[in-house]
Amino acid sequence: MGHLRIDFPGQPAKLRPVSELLWFVAHTKPRREKKLAEFCERQGFAINLLCYRSEHKYRGKSVVFEKPLFPGYAFLQVQSQQATMVRQNDHVASLLDVFDQSTFARQLQEIQAALDSGLEVRQSPIIESGRRVRIRSGPLQGIEGLVESRLGQTTVFLRLDFINQAAAIKINAEALELI
């Protein structure tokens, strides 16, 4: 199965006007994220299932999987009346309204940029304390996040506040500036 992310049909790099489409967060039933993405693709709904690549070795063979970065969550951009159809889908436990559409869209795009950059990205619990930083160089230049240091490595957390989750990337401290 290919990458399940759909980049806003008709406008791959930009969001459609908020008045036309609204962001919703689908909290899925366990292990049903990809099934929901397939349903949305068939219906023509824009869905973003943030996935990272995970490689495992089985009997000397390398197998690559795409796993949801935030298990149990898929991010949809649909018209209000289409949300009812998604809400009634058997794969959805609940459909959450996003109140701050612009902040949510920006945070989602930042995490997607990190996934697209090829850097190692993993799910991380949100960290309340830490320094806010901006990445100064490299493929993620300009993105802001919170920093944590562990065993000499610097990790930047890109927040998705609406679901109280974060994605983490490992990056050299020299590439960061305090905000």
Q: Tell me, what's the pLDDT at 152?
A: 55
Question: Over the chain (179 residues), what is each successive 10-residue block's mean pLDDT?
Answer: 39 50 96 96 95 89 92 96 95 96 95 92 63 84 79 73 86 74
Q: Tell me, what's the pLDDT at 27?
A: 97
Q: Tell me, what's the pLDDT at 21?
A: 93
Distance of alpha carbon 153 from alpha carbon 147, whole angstroms: 10
Question: SS3 sequence, the chain?
Answer: CCCCCCCCCCCCCCCCCCCCCEEEEEEECCCCHHHHHHHHHHHCCEEECCEEEEEEEECCEEEEEEEECCCCEEEEEECHHHHHHHHCCCCEEEEEECCCHHHHHHHHHHHHHHHHCCCCEEEEECCCCCEEEEECCCCCCCCEEEEEEECCEEEEEEEEHHHCEEEEEECCHHHEEEC
Q: Tell me, what's the pLDDT at 136?
A: 82
Q: Tell me, what's the pLDDT at 177?
A: 75
Q: Is the pTM of this model over 0.85?
A: no
Q: Tell me, what's the pLDDT at 179?
A: 79
Q: Tell me, what's the pLDDT at 148?
A: 72
Q: Tell me, what's the pLDDT at 4?
A: 37
Q: Which domains does the chain have, with CATH numbers?
A: 1-98 (3.30.70.940), 117-179 (2.30.30.30)
